[in-house]
Amino acid sequence: MLKIGIVGGTGRLGSLIIKAVLEDEECVAGAVIGRTGNRYVGRDICELAGGAATGVTVVDNLQEAAGCDCFIDCTNAEVCLKNNYEWYLRMKKPLLIASTGFDKAGMDKLRELSASMPVLQAGNFSMALHDFLETIRHMAGKMRVKADISIIEYHHNQKKDAPSGTAEMIRDAVCDANPLYTKEDIAISSVRGGGIVGEHMVLFAYHDEIIELRHRVSSRDTFAYGALKVCKWLAARENGLYELKDFFG
């Protein structure tokens, strides 16, 4: 059984990942780590995920998770690099990072980390998103006339980063597929409101025609179950820095 450590397990995504792990027959929750002072520290993880008591309690120190086989970090870029990085370097276990906000220097740090372990960072683990991105690449690559391209992304009012990591993935997909476009050519608009889980619309505007492509998520469960699938895959990989496209082949 694969022992998974969930770092940042007391947050929205983290608690859903715990639930997904508890339902999975191939893995167990080896440890759940929350920040010092969090009200769940010392309490059974079932209080986060529901169900019967598990005997696993939330801890506030990564050192107590040394027995895990791999880790899912769903904190944020700052916490991952400042608080967790050195522990990951010592433990040398496969690491899935389910958060965005890493600048070039941050990605360089992850690249250094990947020399000692398999590392994959992504901001969206929706399985359908892969097909959406492939559709966008196909569309952008086949364009005979250059259009004005805009990305509009919608998320809940507690989301801190803007634009979203997914919106940036969409922009990169267009640029990779069509050399006529640079990042500066593609406008991204961010909307934050209520409890919106996530929605991304790509608008191709021609002189007097418009094409719209849209991806909408109705439940955060899809991110949790997707992250778990990718984590199990990553646990069997060699050292290196991976992307979601490696998982999808």
3 confidence band (pLDDT: 50, 70, 90): very high
Residue 17 DSSP SS3: helix
10-43 exposure pattern, b = at least 16 Cβ within 10 A, e = fewer? bbebbbbbbbbbbebeebbbbbbbbeeebebbee
Its pTM surpasses 0.95: no
pLDDT score at 144: 82
What are 187-219's pLDDT values in tens digits?
A: 999 999 999 999 999 999 999 999 999 999 999
By DSSP bridging, strand 118-121 and strand 240-242 are: parallel
Residue with tokens 């004005």: 148
165 confidence band (pLDDT: 50, 70, 90): confident
Q: Taking the CA atoms of the chain, what radius of gyration do you get in angstroms?
A: 19
pLDDT score at 178: 94
Catalytic positions, written as ranges: 155, 159
pLDDT score at 77: 93
The full DSSP string for 47-64 is: HHH-SS--S-BEES-GGG
Instruction: Inform me whether the pLDDT recorded for 99 exceeds 90.
Output: no
Segment 141-146 shows an average pLDDT of 88
